């Protein structure tokens, strides 16, 4: 719920100067681990491509990114703790290679990452109290996206409007039948655009519900994986593409016999969790509706959401 205030207070003007620097370079690389990269980076990539921007944006995890020649890129290294080993080591490598356009994005001040990057931007959201990263994911994504707004000279962000719709998504009542179907599922699948929403919710499914989950990009859900799906499984399709719905019905609902649920800003032929529309920023609303869904599933199972069995706050901490 802290996300509502974080969005309401977000200042897109903080990225005006860095946006001009990124524009002059023309290449932007966004890296980090887990939730610090999935939605923030992939949302920015999809948005830039949809807008037809003359800006090349790429992403990969820090270890793989360390194998790339990033000398011509502005590189953002994201780590909430500022202590994530893979991210810090990549920043150190960039420094040793003389890349002066290495930037950090963290929720903490005075970190190892800040010491290594040329400039570090500190989020306002503060430390995540729960193991699953939530409010920081949204603020990171808004930070990157606001860079695009400045470069493209678009005016898409109205903080009060988006925060209100996020609050609706977080507090709306979800049909108990949908919750029970997910509780009984052996695997919870998420499908949808490769913009980080469905993929991030897949990760959160593991952390919040302790159930097995998988992300099915595009039409992957109907291209072979149905062979190992069970009738008690459930597939959540985020913002389904209208032209693909009939195939999902044919292969998954009729073929496998499982339940397919859409998370959308409109009514669809599928069972639908309807969320408020926020225009270009609707992916943030989808993400928050997904959190609502997963929390309800976890509570129905009887899980203590604040006490994970194995998950850690910092996945792999840098130790000096």
Q: Cα–Cα distance between 251 and 108 in angstroms, integer?
A: 47
Q: Tell which residue, 135, 137, 48, 62, has the closest CA to residue 92.
A: 62
- Pick the more confident residue, 124 or 128: 124
On the question of pLDDT at 317 being above 70, the answer is no
Residues of 140-176 as b/e, b for ≥16 C-beta within 10 angstroms? bbbbbbbbbbbbbeeebbeeeebbbbbbbbbeeebee
CA trace torsion 282, 125, 170, 187 (10° rounding): 90
Q: Do 290 and 192 form a contact (C-beta atoms < 8 A)?
A: no
Sign of CA dihedral 11, 17, 19, 22: negative
Asked if residue 11 is part of any domain, the answer here is yes
Asked if residue 60 is part of any domain, the answer here is yes
Q: Check whether residue 108 and residue 165 sit in a common domain.
A: no
Of 100, 135, 155, which one is at a domain's C-terminal end? 155
CA trace torsion 286, 288, 294, 295 (10° rounding): -160
Read off the pLDDT of residues 48-101 as tens digits, 9 standing for 90 and up. Answer: 999 999 999 999 999 999 999 999 999 999 998 889 999 999 999 999 999 999
Q: Check whether residue 14 and residue 149 sit in a common domain.
A: yes
Q: Strands 56-59 and 74-78, how do they pair?
A: unpaired
Q: Check whether residue 193 and residue 207 sit in a common domain.
A: yes
Which stretch, 111-125, 163-177, 220-234, has highest mean pLDDT? 163-177
Q: Check whether residue 132 and residue 185 sit in a common domain.
A: no
Q: Check whether residue 109 and residue 166 sit in a common domain.
A: no
Q: Check whether residue 130 and residue 172 sit in a common domain.
A: no
Q: Check whether residue 55 and residue 185 sit in a common domain.
A: no
314: number of Cβ within 10 Å: 14
Helix 16-25 to helix 135-152 angle (10° resolution) is 60
Q: Check whether residue 6 and residue 132 sit in a common domain.
A: yes
Of 101, 135, 155, which one is at a domain's C-terminal end? 155
Q: Check whether residue 102 and residue 196 sit in a common domain.
A: no
Q: Tell which residue, 265, 39, 48, 51, has the closest CA to residue 169.
A: 265
Read off the pLDDT of residues 135-160 as tens digits, 9 standing for 90 and up. Answer: 989 999 999 999 999 999 987 677 77
CATH number for 120: 3.40.50.10490
Asked if residue 316 is part of any domain, the answer here is no
Q: Cα–Cα distance between 311 and 80 in angstroms, integer?
A: 16
Q: Check whether residue 189 and residue 235 sit in a common domain.
A: yes
Read off the pLDDT of residues 218-269 as tens digits, 9 standing for 90 and up. Answer: 877 787 888 889 999 999 999 999 999 999 999 999 999 999 999 999 999 9
Residues comprising the chain, all counted = 320
Asked if residue 145 is part of any domain, the answer here is yes
Residues 6+ apart with CB under 8 A from 114: 82, 104, 106, 120
Asked if residue 311 is part of any domain, the answer here is no
Q: Check whether residue 137 and residue 173 sit in a common domain.
A: no
Helix (H, G, I), strand (E, B) or coil at 320: coil
Asked if residue 261 is part of any domain, the answer here is yes
Domain region containing 194: 160-301
Asked if residue 294 is part of any domain, the answer here is yes
Q: Do 188 and 209 form a contact (C-beta atoms < 8 A)?
A: yes
Q: How many domains does the chain have?
A: 2
Q: Cα–Cα distance between 42 and 24 in angstroms, integer?
A: 22
Q: Check whether residue 184 and residue 262 sit in a common domain.
A: yes
Helix (H, G, I), strand (E, B) or coil at 139: helix
Percent of the chain with pLDDT over 90: 81
Of 155, 173, 204, which one is at a domain's C-terminal end? 155
Asked if residue 214 is part of any domain, the answer here is yes
DSSP E strands, the chain: 27-32, 56-59, 74-78, 102-106, 119-122, 187-192, 212-217, 234-238, 259-264, 271-274
On the question of pLDDT at 315 being above 70, the answer is no
């Amino acid at each position: 719920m802290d996300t509502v205030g974080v969005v309401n207070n977000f200042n897109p003007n903080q990225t005006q100067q860095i946006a001009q620097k990124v524009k002059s370079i023309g290449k932007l690389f966004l890296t980090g681990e887990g939730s610090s990269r999935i939605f923030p980076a992939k949302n920015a990539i999809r948005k830039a491509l949809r807008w037809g921007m003359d800006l090349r944006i790429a992403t990969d995890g820090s270890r793989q990114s360390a194998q790339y020649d990033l000398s011509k890129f502005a590189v953002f290294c994201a780590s909430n703790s500022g202590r994530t080993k893979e991210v810090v080591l990549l920043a150190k490598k960039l420094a040793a290679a003389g890349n002066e356009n290495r930037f950090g994005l963290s929720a903490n001040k005075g970190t190892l990452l800040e010491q290594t990057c040329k400039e570090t931007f500190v989020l306002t959201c503060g430390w995540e109290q729960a193991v699953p990263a939530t409010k920081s994911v949204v603020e990171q994504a808004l930070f990157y996206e606001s860079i695009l707004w400045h470069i493209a000279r678009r005016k898409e962000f109205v903080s009060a409007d988006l925060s209100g719709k996020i609050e609706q998504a977080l507090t709306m009542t979800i049909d108990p039948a949908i919750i029970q179907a997910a509780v009984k599922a052996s695997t919870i699948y998420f499908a949808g655009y490769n913009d980080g929403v469905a993929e991030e919710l897949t990760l959160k499914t593991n952390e919040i519900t302790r159930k097995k989950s998988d992300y099915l990009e595009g039409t992957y859900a109907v291209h072979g994986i149905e062979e190992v799906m069970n009738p008690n499984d459930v597939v959540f399709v985020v913002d389904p593409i209208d032209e693909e719905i009939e195939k999902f019905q044919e292969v998954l609902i009729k073929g496998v016999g499982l339940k397919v649920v859409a998370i959308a800003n409109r009514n669809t032929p599928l069972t639908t969790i309807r969320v408020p529309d926020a225009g270009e920023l609707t992916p943030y609303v989808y993400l928050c509706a997904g959190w609502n869904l997963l929390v309800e599933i976890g509570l129905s199972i009887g899980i203590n959401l604040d006490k994970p069995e194995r998950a850690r706050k910092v996945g792999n901490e840098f130790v000096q």
